Structure 1
């Protein structure tokens, strides 16, 4: 590959466009078209790859439907009821509100599949509750909200896992199951950090909810708590595909909010649809750019070249996983997670398969990696989101995020080297990998 090769010039074009602030999806589209022009290829290929990728894959439809389900939950009162339920369970302990933040993320993970939806919805409410009357420093509340939101796309359902399934042909259902244990481990690790920090920094103890009120609060929250059950029974009972389950989730959230809780108006419904459409369009542009750029990568035979290079290094499974983990963690500091899943990860899939690495295990490791990138400086999209809502200086948020990030990195190491932590539950329900 020379300095004037079409592929290298296309990479330069993508990098320059991204650095000047253009959306990465648009940058990949422009760079790919630039490559095809320089290589003398048919420009109609761009449209062909876009149409084949976007309209021939039923899996992609799950993305906007899960986004809509999360928006409807935020517009209705489902999220608030879940917060009251979590507070009744763990709010009575020292640092209880911080523990509520983690628990609601674990529960809300079963609803939206999106870290950003968690941080922008229930996470925003948690920040307000934690900082009210100066109970917690704004930087700690923001850091915890960002860190706990990372759990969302690891416990099913998960939009990043849907995208990984798109590029790897792995089973979405078993990927969802593979994320349960790692997600719970991450929640437990964050709770342990909170318990230690709460004693050292003397965080407040919230007034305990009387035990006689817990049954009523639980009953009030039960319809919202049943959503993950409805999703999992539908998928693993063979009643629905994951995409159909996403449609059921959106419909369930709408019906519960309108008919049972009567907490959503036509105005808020329209706002939810509009926000979902904008988010979907943004992700759709990224998917379109990635599909076309992946075609360029295939033409250049990059996956095979990398496979040969890694073979020359004589890497075994462990060495390869260490290499991928380190690379993705570094890339996560500067790239958006969806771009990594759609552009970088497909390059490594042939090598992983050749080394006999299970695609479900590899997928969960990759998704955890990309989610950690959301709270890793300097890019850390979630850090910017919670920083905007909290008003705390970014450096203080980064400082308070570090203990949580280190704890989650420890979980990543465990699931990388002990695949059974990921594969135990899928195998229990019939996975043959």
Structure 2
């Protein structure tokens, strides 16, 4: 029996990916190959890419959030935020671990990227934690990697922007839906850090004199205002999420250059170059996904899968359990954006058919994908922190294991209890 064009398309993606070609390029090549075998117009590939990119105003938010994060990293915003967090939680046992988590929660309201959070905060906080041997280097790397997954869950969030693109769901309500799960993750990570700190007798940081607290708070105030301006601007109806991303980038530039005067022209050029490279990488992945999703639609895969799954009569909870398991397994093997753009669209029709709220589904999906950044062998954050700390990957994974377990507990709670996600959006007017 001859192999179908769609099967050959999938095989081509796998082979090209295994040979080292970026997944976005692999999907474009495989999709063009499918069009050729099916006798369809090859120009359809270019048409799908152009229509998808030029008609999706929401995609502009991605490069702008990336630029905002890079501008914050080169300025002194991160240093000032860490000092402020030290005032808040540094006095407890394992205080610098708590500072790490809280700083990531605050930074999450600015960047929307886990990698940006890990790199921006990581270099400084790991140095603080490992100075004079106060914390093992591997533990400092593990808690930094774990805390960084909070970034794309608390708004703003680049993965949620991508999910909104494929599901036609409101970005504003998705952002709001991620707030409570993000805080829950921060809470359980701090509890886990407290338990580990007591067992290992990690140090208590010396309390900051009361006279210094107002000064430290004022120094951090311009940086702390960024998430406030961003979120109130979006939910107050003043600006769209895309306009909010532009405002975040502009404010980060303003704070770094005029308020803190901490950026040179060379650093600014480097930040723009870095954000441009990251945007190009994500853009190629989106382009590949747009063409491949067209192929998947032609083959009627989402509708066929929805028919099969609904024919099995699963409950909404049973379906979400299946999706969680599949995404967690795939997270060990694939990059998060690939899962979001290629795999998740296949599940959306079934979620709709089972009456699952798409805001709830979207936040559960994003939390799954963020946990995938911590799970070996592919966990991208593990590689970033292992490289940053010069520690063996196995050592980082071992120290991160309890934080991964804590994150899975939060995933279970938000899956079983949709109101943990939907409560805040409904408070603002969401009817789902």
| TM-score, with structure 1 as normaliser | 0.99
Map 1:94-173 → 2, pairs under 5 A: 94-173=93-172
Shift of 1:3: 6.1
281-290 or 133-142, which deviates more:
133-142
**Structure 1 segment 2-401 matched on structure 2, within 5 A:** 4-401=3-400
Distance across 2 between alignment mates of 1:84 and 1:99: 12
Residues 348-402 of structure 1 show CA distances to partners (whole Å, capped at 9, x for unaligned) of 1111111111110000000000111000111000000000000111111111111
Distance (whole Å) between structure 2 residues aligned to residue 278 and residue 353 of structure 1: 36
2:416 match:
417
Residue 404 (structure 1) aligned with residue 403 (structure 2): yes
Distance in 1 of aligned mates of 2:310 and 2:153:
31
- C-alpha distance in structure 2 between counterparts of 1:89 and 1:198, whole Å: 18
Match of 1:155, SS state, is coil
Q: Match of 2:151, SS?
A: coil
Query: Alpha-carbon deviations, 1:201-257, whole Å to 9, x = none?
Result: 111111211122111111110110011110111101111000000000000011111
Deviates more, 1:23-32 or 1:409-418: 23-32
Question: Using the alignment, how far apart are the partners of 2:123 and 2:116 within structure 1?
Answer: 10
| Secondary structure, aligned partner of 2:333 | coil
Shift of residue 312 of structure 1? Answer: 2.0
Mapped partners of 2:417, 2:258: distance in 1: 46
SS at the partner of 1:365?
A: helix
1:320, 1:25 → 2: CA distance? 29
CA distance in 2, matches of 1:138, 1:21: 31
- 1:179, 1:61 → 2: CA distance? 21
CA offset at residue 124 of structure 1? 2.1
Structure 2 unaligned residues grouped into runs of 5+: none
Confirm or deny: 8 A CA contact 2:310 2:353 kept in the other structure: no
Name the SS for the 2:373 alignment partner: helix
Q: List structure 1 runs of 4+ shifted beyond 2 angstroms.
A: none
The CA distance in 2 between the partners of 1:303 and 1:323, in whole Å, is: 16
Q: Residue 109 of structure 2 aligns to a residue in which SS?
A: helix
Distance in 2, Cα, partners of 1:52 & 1:32: 16
Unpaired runs of at least 5, structure 1: none
Partners in 1 of 2:46 and 2:85 — Cα distance?
48
For 1:121 and 1:256, locate their aligned partners in 2 and report how far apart those are by CA, in whole Å. 16
- The whole-number CA distance in structure 1 between the counterparts of 2:198 and 2:20 is 43
SS of residue in 2 equivalent to 1:121 = helix
**Equivalent residue of 1:157, what SS?**
coil
Deviation at 1:94, TM superposition (A): 1.3
Displacement of 1:75 in angstroms is 0.7
**1:375 alignment partner, SS class:** coil
What SS does structure 2 have at the residue aligned with 1:151? coil
| Rounded Cα–Cα distance in structure 1 between residues aligned with 2:201 and 2:14 | 46
Q: Secondary structure at the match of 1:262?
A: coil
How big is the shift at 1:20?
2.1
> What do you get for the CA RMSD once the two structures are aligned?
0.8
Distance 1:311 1:3, change over 3 A: farther
Distance in 2 (alpha carbons) for counterparts of 1:135 and 1:148: 19
Aligned length: 432
Cα deviations by residue, 1:144-201 (Å, 9 ceiling, x for unpaired): 1110000000000000000000000100000000000000000000000000000111
Contact 2:109 2:154 in 1 (8 A): yes
Give the 3-state SS of the residue equivalent to 1:94 in structure 2.
coil
CA distance in 2: counterparts of 1:132 and 1:271, whole angstroms: 29
